[in-house]
Structure formats: C-alpha cells, structure tokens
Chain A
Amino acid sequence: MTPPESGAPGVPAVGVDARLYDEVQRFYARQVQLLGDGDVDRWALTFAEDAVFEQEAPPEKVFAGNAPPVRRGRAEIAAAARGAVAERAAAGRVRRYLIGMLTVRRLPDGALTTRYCAVLVQTPPGGRAALHLSTTGRDLLVRHGDRWLVRHRINSHDSEAGSHTGLGQQKEKPWPI
C-alpha cells in the first residue's frame, strides 16, 4: 500500500506512515505518564531547552494558577509544572492526562506538527474520579537523536471562547517560531 504522505501530486497529505504515527503516540503516552506521576524533572526533558509552552486557559487554571500563560524555556516550563504538581500533591489529588484524536503532519525539515484532544481525569483522596478538563493541544515536535521533543505547545481549554470559534485552531496557522 502507498504510504499516505506519498500520494499522487496534488493530493493533500493525509498523515504520516504507521511507524511514525506509532512513535508519536508512544511519545505522548510516556509524556502524560511522567506528568501524571508528578515526575516533573523527567517530564521537562521531553521539551526542547528553548521550548515555548502557551496556555489558552482561565487564569486560575493555568497550571497552579500563578504560572504565566506563556512559558519560555525548559526551566520556566518545569517551574510552572512543579507548582501545579506540588499543589495537587498537598491536596492528595491524582491527575491523569489522556490524549486522543491525534493527527500528525510532517514538515519539509522533518519536524512534526500535531493536533490532539487531551482530557484530565482527577480523583480526590478516597473520592470519585471525575472529568476535570477537556482541552486541545497543538505541538511542534523536533527530533533530538532518537527521541522527539516538544519545541512549541499550545494548550487550549474548551471553556475558553477561542476554543469555541475554532479561530485559534486553523489547520494552516503558521507556527510562531
């Protein structure tokens, strides 16, 4: 079978081949587990050193609530996550991040752009699991040796107006790199 990205001229690419798609899915599986486990140090290493993490979210839900909506660089990204992880650990809450509905596109330079849905399921100590948040993500992934790293992430909460209009989610939106 013809790989989808090598379709006939004029036919829009519809994705990446099975091997690459599988690789990216496993990247996200590992990344969400590191954050869910509160292993911020190793989670931060899944971002490029000069990565940018933007959040379109209500101010009180930008991670711990006191992180800036745009974090620049691995250290700042880690600091924001560390605050959030400490806050939930103090409250005894467990958070699990689930990613689905993933699309992957390859750029001419070999980097990847991805789009996906991400939900957060939260369980209080001794309590009932509940859907905490529904969001979408757009990433720019770059290869680093045999691994992928997030170079730029935009995470948009569905409760925000931008998510409703879809204006912030145009497929052809250029990456602000």
Chain B
Amino acid sequence: MTAAGTAPATAPAVTAEAYAQILQFYAGHMQDLDTGAAEEWAEGFTEDGVFAQNVKPEPWRGRTHIATSMRRGLDRLAERGVQRRHWLSMVVATPADPVDGADDTVRTRYYAVVFETPRGGQASVYLSTTGEDLLVRRGARWFIKHREIFHDGA
C-alpha cells in the first residue's frame, strides 16, 4: 500500500511529450494567476473542476465558482500592492484511469512554493505546499479536473 496520492515506485511514467505539455500548462496557468487574470486561470479547470485546499473548510466547485473566488482573492492582493509568484516544480506525473472520455488522464503530485514581494520592498518565501491534480487532456489542451493543495505546517 502507498499513502494516498503517491505513486508506487513501479508506476508507469507518462510520455515525454505529455510531461512537457503538462510543465508548460502549469507554467502558463501560474502566469495567469500571478498577472491577476483570475478568469483565464479558471479556464484551466474543467467546467466541473474542483479546487480544494487543506486550509479551507470547503472546496471551490465548478469553474464559475473558482473564477469568482480567485477574483476576490487577487483583488485583495492588488489592493495591498503585493506581487506573488507561484513556482510549481518536482512534478511527478503518472497515467490514470480515463475519465469523461478525455484524450489523456494523468495524476500529478508536485511542490508549489510561493514568493511574495511588496511594492518597493523585499522578496520573501511566502508559502511552501504540495499539490495533487487529476488532469485531463481534450485535444491540444490540458484541464484540471481536481486539485488539492496541502499547505506545509497547516
């Protein structure tokens, strides 16, 4: 048995093409978030996507809810004049059972570190987390069907 969300050592890997696509998807997705584009960022989730965090009592369910909730959060940050940068790395990606007739279904686990810089101020590490996603590919695009973020120390 393995802990929930972790892959056994013998798990098959995704192809190099799929892995490169996922890394680029994550990079673009975090660029949307960090430039304040909450609605574009939300489009990286499926219509019925779920975004859960271990520091929130309830997950955000559905792309619309995810967009409006993140919009509120990003507006608050902008008012405070704070720039965050989300860095996803150490991505482990394993094939998963197909869902919703997707062209590809992949489970990932990764580290996400957040850097924060106040306007005119000094950069610092704001947060260290791990994340677990269920990703689906439709044609040339990847979407997050389910994301759970675990804040370290929470």
Residues of A within 8 A of B (CB): 1-4, 6-8, 11-18, 21-22, 58, 100-104, 115-117, 119, 131-134, 136, 157-161, 163-166, 169
CB atoms of B124 and A131 under 8 A apart: yes
CB atoms of B85 and A136 under 8 A apart: yes
Extra pairs beyond A12-B140, A100-B87, A102-B23 (4, CB < 8 Å)? A4-B24, A11-B141, A58-B120, A102-B24
Given the contacts A159-B120, A159-B123, A164-B81, A117 and B17 also touching, CB distance less than 8 Å:
no
CB distance from B109 to the nearest CB of A (A): 17
Of the candidates A21, A22, A159, which one forms a contact with B117 in the assembled complex, judged by CB atoms under 8 Å apart? A159
Interface residue count on the B side (C-beta < 8 Å): 44
Chain A residue with minimal CB distance to B25? A14
Main secondary structure of the interface of B (DSSP, over half): mixed
Chain-A contact segment, one of B30-38, B46-54, B64-72, B127-135: B30-38
CB atoms of B140 and A161 under 8 A apart: no
CB distance from A129 to the nearest CB of B (A): 11
The 3 nearest A-B residue pairs measured at CB: A7-B140, A166-B35, A18-B20
Q: Is B28 interfacial (CB-CB < 8 Å)? A: yes
CB distance from B46 to the nearest CB of A (A): 16
CB distance from B82 to the nearest CB of A (A): 8
Complex: A7 Cα to B146 Cα, angstroms = 24
Q: Is B119 interfacial (CB-CB < 8 Å)? A: yes
Given the contacts A13-B140, A159-B118, A134 and B27 also touching, CB distance less than 8 Å:
no
Interface hits, B85-139 → A, CB 8 Å: 85-89, 104, 115-125, 139
CB atoms of B119 and A21 under 8 A apart: no
Q: Is B7 interfacial (CB-CB < 8 Å)? A: no
Chain A residue with minimal CB distance to B89? A100
Complex contacts, B119 vs chain A, CB 8 Å: 159-161, 164
Q: Is B19 interfacial (CB-CB < 8 Å)? A: yes
Chain B residue with minimal CB distance to A156? B83
Complex: A89 Cα to B67 Cα, angstroms = 47
Complex: A158 Cα to B21 Cα, angstroms = 27
Complex: A94 Cα to B54 Cα, angstroms = 37
CB atoms of A17 and B17 under 8 A apart: yes
